[in-house]
Each structure stands twice: as C-alpha cells, then as structure tokens.
Amino acid sequence: MIGPYRGLFDRPGVKAFVLAGLIGRMPMSMLGIGVILLITALTGNYATAGAVGAASNLAFAVAAPLSGRLADRFGQGRVIAPFALVNAIALAALMIFAASRLPEWTLYAAGLLIGATSLSLGSMVRARWSAIHGGSDRLHAAFAFESVADEIVFVTGPALVTVLATTVNPYAGLIVALVCMLGGSLALASQRRTQPPVQLIRSSSGTPILIPAIALLACVSLALGAIFGSVDLITVAFAEEHGVKWASGFLLASFAGGSMVSGLWFGSRNWRISLRTRFVRALALFMVGLSPILFINTPGVMAAALFLAGFAISPTLITCFSLTERLVPQALLTEGMAWISTAITLGVALGSWAGGHLTETSGASSAYVFSIAAAVVAVIVGIGGSGLLRLPAAPSPPAS
C-alpha cells in the first residue's frame, strides 16, 4: 500500500505546503459542529443552529469560485492572507455576539461573513499538486493523499471540538479552529515557490461551471454535501437523544474514519477501470452503505455503521476531483476545483437546514431519511449523466 506514496513528498516545499494546508483546513470539520454546540448550549434550538450554519455555507458557496478565480489570476499568496484575516475577525465576532446574547440576526450576519471569507484551501493544495504532477500517475496518489488528509481533519476535528466545547466551555473549540485557520492559511500564503504559476485568463475562457461535465459533477457534489451536512447535525441530536451528547464528535469521526481507511487503499491501487466507472460505482456503494443508519437506535452500533458507510466517501471524492482536473483548462484549475467544493458546501447548507428542521419535528432517527434520499439523488444524477464524463483516450505511444 505504501509504494505509490513513496517519494511523493521529495520535491522541495511539498512537505511544507501539505502541512500548512492540513492545519489550515481544520476548521472545515470544526466550525459546523462547533457552531451547533455553541448555539444549542445557549438556546437549545437545533433549527437556529442549523440555519446559522446554512447561512455561512451559502455565503461560502457564492464566494469560493470568486476567490478561486482570484487565486488563478493573481496567485494564491496574494489572495489567501487578506481573506484569512477577515475570516478570523468574523469568527471572533460570532463568538462575541453569542456571548453577549445579542439579537439572533447578528449571528446570521457573522455567519455570512465567515462563509464569504472562507477559502477552499483543499482546492488550492490540489492545484499545487496538479502543477507538480499534472499528467503523471503520481497525481492519482497525490489526490488520494489529499482525500485522506481531508478525512484526518474530519476524524480529529469533530472529536476535538466536541471535547473542548463540552468539557472546557462552548467557545473553546471555535477558538482552536480560528487559530488553526489563521496559522495554516498564512503559512500556505507565504510559500510562493510551490504555488501554481499565474496564467492569463482570457475573457472568452468563461467559467468552468459552464462545462457540462463540471456542472454534472457539481450537481452530484451538491447531493453529497447534503448527506454530509444532514448527517453531521442529525448525529449530534441522535447522541443527545441517547444521553451521550459528548460522544457526538466520536460518532462523526467514525464516519470520516471509514473514508480515511478506504482513501489510503484506493490511492495505492493502479486502476484499470476508467475514472468514470470508478466514480459511479463509488456513488452506488455509498448509497447502499448509508442505508442502514435509518434503522439503528444504539450509539455503539451507529458508530460501526457510520464507519462502514464512510468507506465510499474518499473513492467518490478522489475520482470527482481527478475528473475535474482532467476536464478543466489549466488556467482555470483552482476555480474549477473550487466549484466542486462550493457545490459540496452548498449541499452541506441544505443538509444542515433540512436536518435541523426534521430533527425538531420528527426526531433524529427519522431525520436520517433525508440523508438517504440525498444519496439516492446523487446516484441517479451521477449514473444518468455519466456519459458526459467520458475522457478522451490517451494517445498511443509511437511505434519503435
């Protein structure tokens, strides 16, 4: 399993940008559950918690492609720092507003600013990998590693923020998230040597979302995000219903843990089947693996079920980003990656909102039906439109 990853980090500067990107992405898994824990601790209202999270995610969905295009045009180093500084101020404001019991609209305002200034660091790191290994087999291993890095974030982040919020105070987890975001982002911004070269973007280049295949991947990613957002919120409520709210982060870590294990294995394989086939098979496996959570009423069994359901996450995301890298012009690569992240985040907003309302009205176990429905939609859209994802055949080597 180690073979394909050997030597991946030997290039100068690679270890530094990987570490900075990993630390800077920690809030990706901490903010959602951190906001839920903070607001429910103050108000006891999951609908409000879900709505504030949804507002932040919606703002990110609108702004992320713009920040991606700015990074393509001016370079990551010039874009990351100002966004990160404003994002830190907005997150601090959210905590201050909550502590001061200011009107509810102030929480939404802060949430919107947090989302609008959040950067898709995962897309920026993947763009760096593409600049280094584009066109080689190593890019598959690099993207697989990044998927594993995402899952490391989702394994450690929810557990960390839950422990801090429930044993220290409701704000502690968000404070750690702020420090990680700011430190990792500024460290990544300082590494100019490994950032993708700035390329001229002609006005006729358009935007990657107008490419039919990218639009299809974005639609599937929207449904995937709805699964992630709803499972996050509903699982917190599920743990509380069973008297183990302190364990909610560990339940979510199980979901990410399954994905981390499968990501390492998936990236170590030399696949003979096409990217398109891998993508649709992973989607179908995700739907099948997720279905049992609707029928489970024991936290321990739920942790095991979420772990197994997570096995299809990394293969799905790895192939999704790999297809994007192959389908988007190089001059628009960061923006293209950001559109996928944007779609996922928009789905998370939808899932968080729907999960919160269904939990309030029907209870956590019944609310999981939304997650299953989103998985069904992802499969139908992905398989139905898979013809758009056919890649041109690689040219044959010249005869000797």
- Mean of the per-residue pLDDT values of the chain: 84
Report the CATH superfamily, name and number, of domain 13-196+207-389. MFS general substrate transporter like domains (1.20.1250.20)
Which are the contacts of 258, defined by CB distance < 8 A and separation ≥ 6?
306, 307, 308, 309, 310, 311, 313
pLDDT in tens, 112-161: 999 899 888 888 888 888 888 776 667 777 887 887 787 788 778 877 88
Task: Convert 360-382 to b/e letters by CB count within 10 Å (16 or more is b).
Answer: eeeebbebbebbbebbebbbebb
What is the predicted pLDDT for the residue at 292?
92
What is the predicted pLDDT for the residue at 269?
73
Q: How confident is the model at residue 393 (pLDDT cuts 50, 70, 90)?
A: low
For the cut 60, the answer to whether the pLDDT of residue 171 exceeds it is yes
What is the predicted pLDDT for the residue at 395?
43
pLDDT in tens, 13-58: 888 999 999 999 988 878 877 888 888 787 777 777 778 877 887 8
Cα gap 32→380, rounded to integer Å? 28
What is the pTM assigned to this prediction? 0.75
What is the predicted pLDDT for the residue at 394?
47
Q: How confident is the model at residue 202 (pLDDT cuts 50, 70, 90)?
A: low
Which are the contacts of 185, defined by CB distance < 8 A and separation ≥ 6?
20, 24, 80, 81, 83, 84, 87, 119, 121
Question: How many residues in the chain?
Answer: 400
For the cut 60, the answer to whether the pLDDT of residue 285 exceeds it is yes
pLDDT in tens, 77-95: 889 999 999 999 999 999 9
